[in-house]
Structure 1
Amino acid sequence: MNSCAGESNPIDVINVLERLKRLSAAEEFFEVLGVSYDVKVLNVSRLHIMKRMGQYLAEEDHSNLPDKAIAACARATLARAYDDFATSSPLSHRVFKVLKDRDPTKAAPPRRIFVALGPNLTSFEQK
Structure 2
Amino acid sequence: MSCSSDDGRPMDVNDILERLKRLSDAEEFFAVLGVSYDANVLDVSRLHIMKKMGQYLAEDDLSDLPNQAVAARARAMLERAYEDFATSSPLTHRVFKVLEDNDPDKPAAGGPTFVPLDSVLKSFERE
TM-score, normalised to structure 1's length?
0.76
Aligned-partner residue type, residue 83 of structure 1: E
1:23 corresponds to = 23
CA distance in 1, matches of 2:39, 2:116: 41
2:36 corresponds to = 36
Structure with greater proportional strand content: 2
2:99 corresponds to = 99
Find the residue that maps to 2:29 and give its secondary structure: helix
Higher relative contact order (CA 8 A, sep 6+): 1
Find the residue that maps to 1:11 and give its secondary structure: strand
CA distance in 2, matches of 1:103, 1:71: 34
| Residues 33-66 of structure 1: CA deviation (Å, up to 9, x unaligned) | 0000000000000000000000000111111100
1:117 corresponds to = none
Unpaired runs of at least 5, structure 2: 107-112, 121-127
Task: Quote the offset at 1:105 in angstroms.
Answer: 5.3
CA distance in 2, matches of 1:67, 1:18: 11
Unpaired runs of at least 5, structure 1: 1-5, 115-127
Distance 1:104 1:18, change over 3 A: same
TM-score, normalised to structure 2's length?
0.76
What pairs up with 1:1-127 in 2 under 5 angstroms?
Answer: 7=6, 9-104=9-104
Task: Quote the offset at 1:104 in angstroms.
Answer: 2.6
Identity %: 68
Please identify runs of 4+ aligned residues in structure 1 that moved more than 3 A: 6-9, 109-114
Distance 1:79 1:9, change over 3 A: farther
Larger radius of gyration: 1
RMSD over equivalenced CA pairs, Å:
2.2
